Amino acid sequence: MTADDRAGILLVDDMEDNLIALEAVLGSLNEPIVRARSGEEAMKALLRRRFAVVLLDIRMPGMDGFETAANIKRLDQTKDVPIIFLTGAEEDAGYTFRGYATGAADYLTKPFDPWVLRAKVNVFLELHRKNQQLQELLAREQADFGELRRRLAVMEDRLAEDPVDVATLRKEARELQRLLSRAERSNR
């Protein structure tokens, strides 16, 4: 899997020093990191590739972090991407509430503990990986389920056309029915 195939980390902050600091903290996670200096750049990045998590500053010129988060949550392809707000804004219950109300998964104020931030981001990366594995397993199960249904239909057609080989067909049909039942349980 190449870096372009993996879901990355999107850093959104209008201050270059903050982006550099975030990259230094998160670089050891060995995941692709993409920078955006505005809400508009962040939205473009989100439409170009998948991200496991977005770290989003609140105070930015133009589209602020709250508006950016609202736009992220509005789009079908990005609505499930977790957002961690990172802000230098003074601890204000109104900002915190607004951040969570906008759909944030977490809200941290600067300066933040780098170990805590790295651990939180890593949790979202791991959740994303597990979700991808689950989606792949589900796709395989659905394909197997379809193949079993197709084989069962073929067996039923053969049975209708040639009732002479009934014993063999019944044995095969029972085996396919058993496999189909197992696939249905697995899908559930």
Say whether pLDDT at 4 is over 70.
no
Q: CATH 3.40.50.300: does it fit domain 8-112?
A: no
**pLDDT the model gives residue 148:** 76
pLDDT of residue 90: 64
pLDDT of residue 52: 93
The pLDDT value recorded for residue 89 is: 62
Average pLDDT over residues 74-94: 83
Residue range 54-67, pLDDT digits in tens: 999 998 999 999 99
Higher-pLDDT residue of 82, 144: 82
For position 25, what pLDDT does the model report?
A: 94
pLDDT above 50: residue 181: yes
- The stretch 19-36 carries a mean pLDDT of 94
The 3-state DSSP class for residue 91 equals: coil
* Contacts by residues 65-69 (CB-CB < 8 Å, ≥ 24 positions apart): 65/12, 65/39, 65/99, 66/98, 66/99, 66/102, 67/39, 68/12, 68/39, 68/42, 68/43, 69/99, 69/102, 69/103, 69/104
Residue 45 has pLDDT above 50, yes or no: yes
Cα separation, 68 vs 92, in Å, equals 19
Percent of the chain's residues with pLDDT above 70: 89
Write down the mean pLDDT value for the chain: 85
| pLDDT score of 2 | 47
pTM of the model: 0.72
